[in-house]
Structure 1
Amino acid sequence: METQKIDQHGSKGTLYLVPTPIGNLEDMTFRAVKTLKNVDLIAAEDTRNTQKLLNHFEIDTKQISFHEHNTQQRLPQLLEKLQSGQSIAQVSDAGMPSISDPGKELVAACISADIPVVPLPGPNAGLTALIASGIEPQPFLFYGFLPRKKSEQRQALQNLKNETATMIFYESPFRIEDTLQNMAQVFESKRQVVVARELTKKFEEFIRSDLGSINEELTQHVLKGEFVLIVAGADGEMAPVQLSDAQIIAAIQAEIDRGVQPNVAIKTIAKQVGRKKQVIYNLFHQI
Structure 2
Amino acid sequence: MATLYLVPNVLADGDWQTVLPARVEPILSNTKYFIVENIRTARRFLKQVNREINIDECTFFEINKRTNAADLPRFLKPIKDGHDVAVLSEAGCPGVADPGADVVKIAHQKGIKVVPIVGPSSILLALMASGMNGQNFAFKGYLPVKPQERVKELQNLEKTIRSNRQTQIFIETPYRNNQLVSDILKSCSPSTLFCIAANITGEDEFIQTKSIQEWKKAGAPDLHKQPVIFLLG
With normalisation by structure 1, the TM-score equals: 0.69
Contact 2:127 2:134 (8 Å CA) reproduced: yes
The Cα of 1:18 is off from its aligned counterpart by 1.0
2:226 paired residue number: 225
Partner Cα separation in structure 2 for residue 129 and residue 80 of structure 1: 36
Asked whether the 8 Å contact 1:197–1:224 carries over to 2, the reply is: no
Instruction: Kindly provide the amino acid, as one letter, of the partner of residue 204 in structure 2.
Output: F
How much has 1:188 moved relative to structure 2? 1.8
The aligned counterpart of 1:53 is: 45
Pick aligned residue for 1:94 from 72, 91, 95: 91
Pick 1 or 2: higher relative contact order, CA cutoff 8 A, min separation 6: 2
| Aligned residues of 2:176 and 2:224 also touching (Cα < 8 A) | no
Distance 1:219 1:166 in 2: 20
Question: Does 1:105 find its partner at 2:126?
Answer: no
Larger radius of gyration: 1
Q: Deviations over 1:163-203 (max 9, x none)?
A: 22112212234222332343345542320111111111111
Structure 2: segments with no counterpart, 5+ residues: none
Q: Partner residue of 2:201?
A: 200
Q: Secondary structure at the match of 1:161?
A: helix
How far apart are the structure 1 equivalents of 2:6 and 2:130? 27
1:72 aligns with 2:69: yes
SS at match of 1:144: strand
Q: Deviations for 1:215-265, whole angstroms, at most 9, x for unmatched residues?
A: 664455454411111211xxxxxxxxxxxxxxxxxxxxxxxxxxxxxxxxx
TM-score by length of 2: 0.83
Count of paired positions: 221
Residue pairs, 1:5-84, within 5 angstroms = 8=1, 13-23=2-12, 24=14, 25=16, 26-58=18-50, 59-60=53-54, 62=58, 63-84=60-81
Percent sequence identity is 27
RMSD (CA atoms): 2.3
Residue identity matched to 1:198 = N
Distance in 2, matches of 1:132 and 1:53, equals 27
CA distance in 1, matches of 2:130, 2:151: 24
- Cα deviations by residue, 1:111-170 (Å, 9 ceiling, x for unpaired): 111112111121111111121222333222222322333344334334323222112212
CA contact (8 A) 1:66 1:74 kept: no
* Alpha-carbon separation, structure 2, partners of 1:71 and 1:122: 28
Asked if 1:143 is matched to 2:140, the reply is yes
Q: Which structure features the higher share of strand residues?
A: 2
Identify the residue that residue 277 of structure 1 maps to in structure 2.
none
- Tell whether the 8 Å contact from 2:19 to 2:120 is kept in structure 1 after alignment: yes
Q: Does the Cα contact within 8 Å between 2:6 and 2:115 map onto a contact in 1? A: yes
CA positional deviation for 1:105? 1.1
**1:30 partner SS:** coil
* Partners of 1:51 and 1:230 in 2: CA distance: 33
